[in-house]
Chain A
Amino acid sequence: MPTLLSIKGTEFWALLPLGTVLAVGFLVLLIELFVRSGKSRFSILPIAGNGMLLATLLTWTFRDHVFCGAFFGSIDLDRFGVAFSMIFTVGAYLTFLLSHRFVTRHRIAEGPYSCLIIFATAGMILMAQAADLLTLFLGLEVMSVSLYILVGLVKADPRSSEASIKYFLVGVFSSALFLYGIALTYGASGSVALRSLGGAMAGEMGVLATLGMGFLLAGFFFKVAAAPFHMWAPDVYEGSPTPVAAFLATGVKAAAFAGLTRTLYLGFPGFFASWTTVIWGVAIATMVIGNLAALCQNNLKRLLAYSSIAHAGILLVALISVDLSVPDPAGAQALLYYLLAYTVATVGAFAMLSWAGEDETTLEYIEDFCGLSESHPVLAFALAVFMLTLAGIPPTAGFTGKYFIFSAAVAKGHVDLVVIGVLASLVSVYYYMKVVVCMYMFPPAPGQPFTYTYSVPTAMVLGLSMAGVVYLGLMPATCWRMAGAAIGALF
């Protein structure tokens, strides 16, 4: 029987990203305690943001100190965990850069706001490193509970409260499903550790195991917003504060995919055929519904929500374009690459939204951007590039990512999925181009000139995203290799 004393000192390496992030979180709480009383104009956001940057750098510096099965086999710090931890911390860093205007305008207390984002990030990291289902659930809950609050931060805005309640109810329901899935899986295999699940249920697909896997999948589908579990996404995105929506669209999606990938590849390799079938159907439904519903949106935030649903469909295609027995991880490698490309482009688009409008006004309808090319050519060009990359038009990151996914899928014989995928992308070109058309081909709406509140951090986000889009689009070799190293940990 292992006891706490049998934990070796080296096991604490496995907590490096998580520990750093949590330390920053508690530091922020402490600082807030002292700053509050003084009523100074001291801002906590830069501390929190740079803390996230520090966590990224530490994780990267010590990327070779991998440690699997730490703490009685509950946490793995492998290359996969390292890669995703870095995506999450960078995502949190970018979110902090976007937050300044929102926080000052709505007089949100910076301390709790920063802490919630940091704790959500910690939850995500835990999900990407989980070696058993209970750790995974712990991460999922830490992430979700923080986000329920973040979504509803603007108490004066009924849309925000509505989004919070909706997200909470749906989220709790999906957590319950997930927990039920864990229980059933445990019943079938007698274990919750991912790596021993596969062995315990080798070859056999009993009722319990099938049900368990189904519930687990359903829980994940809620989190990645895959059809038919996607209905919450548009309302929640629309209602949440813009920086939080950006965090939702990128961090949560990446975390859910990290958990899903770990669970399926490590825990259920024996059931490859059956979960492939399920995901095959869900991917088609998600791509079709996401793209068709996006066609008739005129609110840019809702449009990005449906776009995130559609992209989840394409990521699901990547998830099943692997061969676990050979092993051939091309699809999962493409999934990681695409997540990166999608994150960069989506953060860029949300950055544009987060500084559009002055003082009390927010500009989030597509018509608000009419004639932007004449009044603000640089901004118009930037938003156009983000739309093009989301639509997957070369030579941008979105195209390269889609190309990698579709190529892996064709190699695995999923030509049907690829044809549906490219046709869905064609549909997506139409609605992304609506934004470009508005900016470049229509005159500005009379009496409603486009305004924006300049802030250096937001400009930094825009610049970084632009650079990322171009770099990932034209020079994919390096990141592709890194994605391969990360995904290799699961194969």
Chain B
Amino acid sequence: MASRILFVTTDQQRFDALGCNGGRIARTPVIDGLAASGVRYERAHPQNVVCMPSRATMLTGQHIRNHGVWMNGVPLPADAPTVAGLLNDAGWRTGLFGKAHFEPFLDPFLRFPQNRMGVTGATNEDGHPHRGFERMEFAGHGSGGLVHYGGWMREHYPEHMMSFYPPLDGTLDVNADGGGDTGAPQVLRNPVPREIYHTDWVADRAIDWLGGLSDEDDWFCWLSFPDPHHPWDPPDSELHRVPWRDLDLPDGYPSNQTEREVALDAKGAHWRRWYDGDLVSNFEAPARWVPATLTADQVREVDAMAHIENELIDEALGRLLSTVSNRGWDDDLHVLFTTDHGEFQGDHGLLFKGPFHVDALMRLPLVWRPAPTTGIAPSVVNDPVGLVDLAPTFCMIAGIEVPDWMDGAPLPVTPEEAARRQRPAVLTEWDSVHPGGSEVHLQTVTLDGMVCTRYEAGTCHEGVEGELWDLVGDPLQRTNLWDDPVRRALRDDLVAELDALLPERPADPLRTQAPV
């Protein structure tokens, strides 16, 4: 009897994107079905809220300071240990299809192996597994980029190469151009046919690889959808699914300007400075876009586009699961679904992401549908878990001892098991040093229904500020309790816990080698 793991990730997806998490817009019956027959996690947090550090954590099972990828543009070292490598060494077949981003994207001189693979069409590194994957086929956020999807589009559908939104502008900064009906940044009407959109291509490539495996093969398949990360340019043919004019504004969007700005001022200085266009701390959002200009209609349109993309993901996943089921593999199949980080999508009056440790960016969808043969009962786990726990979970499923270099622990499958975990706290870190001169450093611990973020000294903070959020009493995170004298002892305890859990910073941090 073979063991099989389907690891499904999206990019920049909110917790409430899914029906099973209370989402009311996108129809996601496939993922909801997995949740209904598996374990749904109410509070899964990333260890960093941008792609490369978070994905490095998923692959290594390590905290940011231990794998060293502290920001986008910092490549995961070539010799970093990976869970895919462990599985492949143990005889598992391993494949990754879609967005990897373990190495920088912006790479005109092709310095990084993944970009060389994307350009040449190679599916491994000179005949050898790359980071433990024997087959890799990459996609990014559009038809461009140094990825296999771009080569496929250029070969078969050259007329649609320019149909997608260009993520970068002529200065190579994140594009701020607006589109759609509302002029929202990174929104575009895309005439590309749905069948050749990257979401379906990713599923097609995985299905093709799975078709070559035998019934006896143990396999680990990472299905990595690039959506619903911006740009928000789903195929035009699908826009009827969610008419943006019909949408209510999200609960997290303060539509009153005064209310919105008062709430921002209650947070750290970097919130309001970014909102006012006075701070560029990173390359994750368009530098030329000023969040204060975001309109309610733009929030609705972005929301609609993202949810259309969520529906396409759900359908593509369903197609792949049908293929697996037709092979008679379902009983032995573990499916884990999550994302790398969240998206504001209007919360707090903002879009995109950045140095902001609140639920919009930190509370992630996570579902584990254990193989039915395990007999694990459906459950909901409320205690916090981290993406750092994924790789150890894969080890446990595979019957491989969790190695010492992994920081996480296998995910609990019941509330009781979660309560027995030695340290139910989860860490999240942010470090950004922008060549324009700004520097922001945040360290966060989530524990006992509280999120506590300490700001280190930088160009926005003196090092004494922070955030303290009561997840139960203030789910929209409007009242910052950091300076509340009544909560001072609690804050001190959480900061002490943070210090106890944080690994040492590397003495020689890895160098940033691209903006993204």
Q: Do A and B come from one complex?
A: no
